[in-house]
Amino acid sequence: MSRKSERTRQRIVEAANRLFYHKGYHNTSFTDVVNASGVPRGNIYYYFKSKGEIFHAAMAYRLGRIEQMLQSWTERYPTPLERLKRFLDLLPDSADALLQYGCPMGTINAELAKNDPTLHAEAREMFLRFEDWLTDQFAELGYAGRAREFARRLLARGQGISMVAHVYGDRRFLMRETKLLHHWLEQLASGEDQAEF
């Protein structure tokens, strides 16, 4: 595959990925992808033979970025508390997009979990990567036995905050609730587990 064709393919993937986030999967048409990517209509079928395959490529692209991000956090921050707090910073850092389109991971999963098991399994992988990484951090923090429980709980808290902030368009809510999660993590790190959350 030539360098130019790789770039074309990547243009399609990134355009489709953006549209799937901004409009949802079912509400994104082939024509949308064609227009957004600038690639001639039939040409897309040279790279992907169906809409499902484009989705597959978009999820692979996202997974790569997520893994890259998590790995960079692991390298940059020496303590699990710092890493977990960096994770929480995703919320304020991407507040604009979250308010307008919701969580890129949560909204696509909620849409496809209804009745597209194959596509949903690919979308769910994003959750699993985050969960594994968060589990590692909670374990290193001293909660080995409950690390996965805490990880899943933290994901759910983030999803709830993103969802409600999105539905209400409420930036202050997003910021306020994120602070609460910081407090929780600090309590956990200091050994004061009584809050339980």
The contact set with a copy of itself (CB under 8 A) reads 22-24, 26-27, 100-102, 106-107, 109-111, 113-115, 124, 127, 149, 152-153, 155-161, 163-164, 166-168, 170, 173, 176-177, 180, 183, 195-197
**Packing angle, helices 171-189 and 147-168, rounded to 10:** 170
Establish if 42 lies at the interface with DNA (CB under 7 A). yes
Establish if 46 lies at the interface with DNA (CB under 7 A). yes
Establish if 118 lies at the interface with DNA (CB under 7 A). no
Nearest distance in Å: CB 161, a copy of itself: 6
Distances (CA, A) of 184 to 67, 86, 89, 150, 173: 25, 14, 14, 11, 17
Residue with smaller CB distance to a copy of itself, 8 or 137: 137
Contacts of 44 (CB under 8 A, 6+ apart): 12, 30, 33, 34, 37, 54
Distance CA(45)–CA(11), nearest Å, equals: 14
Q: Which residue among 15, 16, 20, 28 contacts DNA (CB under 7 A)?
A: 28
Distance CA(134)–CA(39), nearest Å, equals: 39
The candidate with the shortest Cα–Cα distance to 18, out of 68, 61, 73, is 61
Distance CA(153)–CA(131), nearest Å, equals: 10
Nearest distance in Å: CB 31, DNA: 4
Residue 78 binding: pick among a copy of itself, DNA, none (C-beta 5-8 Å cut-off by kind) = none
The candidate with the shortest Cα–Cα distance to 86, out of 193, 166, 181, is 181
Establish if 2 lies at the interface with DNA (CB under 7 A). yes
Residue with smaller CB distance to a copy of itself, 65 or 176: 176
Residue with smaller CB distance to DNA, 31 or 194: 31
Nearest distance in Å: CB 44, DNA: 7
The footprint of DNA (CB under 7 A) covers 1-2, 4-5, 8, 28-32, 39-43, 45-46, 49-52
